[in-house]
A = this chain, B = another copy of it.
Amino acid sequence: MQVAIPLFPRLTALDAIGPYEVLQRVPEFDVVFVGAERGEVRTENGMLGLTVDATFAEVERPDVVVVPGGVGSRDHLEGSSLVDWVAAVHPTTRMTTSVCTGSLILAAAGLLTGRTATTHWGATEILAKLGAEPVRQRVVAHPEQRIITAAGVAAGIDMGIRLVALLVDEVAAQAAQLGIEYDPEPPYDAGHPDKVGPEVMARVREFSAVRR
């Protein structure tokens, strides 16, 4: 199965690399990083370059699509070659998925209209404006419509493991989890706005003003 992960300027790297790392362990999957043009794309802060190896035109029938998010996703809400590609390839994928604000791109491509979906906790209003029904869930799966959305950034790892279970089998999913030693021990229980106080919330907003 071919997994295509689109990269675009100002993406969030972990949105793409979390699911990539899970899927690439499983020999059934080959991963290709696609984009508007071949070559380097930089993350939102400019600190990291990732390589696009194939153009959208070169990847016409991917089996799995994983759309990452990041502030750069906002550049696609009124249409782009990425949005057109997602709309064009979705009818023949086995699963079209997103991580974080990648769901805004799925919504812009018309895939989430009237459907429950998730995104980064800071982007639920935009997702609603684009016609989806945001729900607070780590992963929202519509297996019959072949659409899965994951919550912010790190949620792509949880989704990647579920994808392996859906498309290969549960033993493979557990083997991928073991391969990446995903046995999380977060030092705090601070991964969702419902779980933190105003001091942490204020700090994350400060961070966002500087680093997006």
Across the interface, A18 reaches (CB within 8 A) one of B14, B31, B195, namely B14
Which of B24, B43, B161, B203 makes the CB contact (< 8 A) with A175? B203
Q: Does A135 contact B (CB under 8 A)?
A: no
A208 nearest in chain B by CB position: B179
CB distance from A95 to the nearest CB of B (A): 15
Interface size grouping (class) on chain A: 35 or more
CA distance A190 to B152 in the complex (A): 22
Chain B neighbourhood of A109, CB < 8 A: none
CB pair A183 B138 closer than 8 Å? yes
Determine the distance from Cα of A20 to Cα of B208 in the docked complex, in whole angstroms: 16
**What 0/1 readout, one digit per residue, does chain A (174-212) give for beta carbons within 8 Å of chain B?**
111111111111111011110110011101101110110
Report the Cα distance A188→B158, complex, angstroms: 9
- Stoichiometry, as copies per complex, reads 2
- Confirm or deny: A132 has a beta carbon within 8 angstroms of a beta carbon on chain B: no
Query: A191 contacts B177, CB within 8 Å?
Result: yes
* Structural contact, A175 and B187, CB atoms closer than 8 A: no
For window 111-158 of A, CB contacts with B under 8 Å fall at 120-121, 138-139, 151-155, 157-158
A81 an interface residue at 8 Å Cβ cutoff?
no
Within A48-93, which residues are at the interface with B (CB < 8 Å)? 48-51, 53
Once the chains bind, are A188 and B183 in contact (CB under 8 Å)? Answer: no
Nearest to A12 among chain B residues (CB) is B21
Closest chain B residue to A121 by CB distance?
B181
CB distance from A32 to the nearest CB of B (A): 7
**Complexed CA–CA distance, A195 and B76 (Å):** 42
Are B200 and A171 touching (Cβ within 8 A)? yes
Q: In the complex, A64 Cα to B51 Cα: how many Å?
A: 25
Chain B residues whose CB sits within 8 angstroms of the CB of A184 once the complex forms: 154, 157-158, 182, 184, 186, 191
Give min CB distance, A116 to chain B, whole Å: 17
